[in-house]
Structure 1
């Protein structure tokens, strides 16, 4: 699908292009990174300690892999931030799990880091998914982008 838009000056064209990039970063790249992060949380956090006895995992119902707890927001005009923001009684659960420090009780993985953010970053650096999501998002918005 090609959307025809006429511009009378370069500034309007640049503004339009920048808007399309921001929308693609936030929607398409954000979704791709969120899904990758959820997979890495399953691998790095849930799979290595599958049956906690001290607490009950909330998973997609308020836990680490709940979309509401993986925040996608724009920082400036050209950077999208995707961050796990799971909180519990004012404590950043994501940071506790990442570092392995700050748990309220003792259990086998207290003190053991489970760095799902770094695993997410490495996966995305190696698989080209971010670039593909941006490309697809821009095409979806009517820009004929060539790889």
Structure 2
């Protein structure tokens, strides 16, 4: 691809980065979040007795309940949005506050969002996904 000026080149690069954030990086973040939900939520209380988990069928790790949206052109937001009768189940699980029923983990925070953030900050997964996505688009990027 040829560019006649720096402005057109920058516009093209920014579009490629934005698309890569929305597709490749968000996929990595979502998968990491699902792993952390498994570790922080499901594994610590593996056999609930008062309800049946929906898991990937409407539960916390269902892709439909993990919202991905672009915030501007250079930021992707990935957020667990599991709702039940107008209640944000993700927030209830995250904070431990707002349960309607008593069970061993009512009142106990299971902060999967913070665990996801820490994993992403310490692992280099986001950067690797960005580089991989840009290379897939034909850009020769170096670390």
1:92 aligns to 2:108 (yes or no): no
Which protein, 1 or 2, shows the higher relative CO under an 8 Å CA cutoff with sep ≥ 6? 1
Q: CA RMSD in A?
A: 0.6
TM-score normalised by the chain length of structure 1: 0.95
- For 1:81, what is the secondary structure of its paired residue? strand
Shift, 1:90, TM fit: 0.5
Q: Which residue of 1 aligns with 2:39?
A: 43
Choose the corresponding residue for 1:61, options 57, 73, 76: 57
In 2, the alpha carbon distance for the partners of 1:115 and 1:132 equals 25
- What TM-score comes out, normalization by structure 2 length? 0.98
- Aligned position for 2:139: 143
Q: How many residues align?
A: 143
Moved over 6 A (4+): none
* Rounded Cα–Cα distance in structure 2 between residues aligned with 1:11 and 1:62: 45
Counterpart among 61, 71, 76 of residue 75 in structure 1? 71
User: Where do 5+ consecutive residues of structure 2 fail to align?
Assistant: none
SS at match of 1:48: coil
Match of 1:126 among 117, 122, 127: 122
Q: CA deviation at 1:11?
A: 1.6
Alpha-carbon separation, structure 2, partners of 1:72 and 1:131: 18
Q: Does 1:6 align with 2:11?
A: no
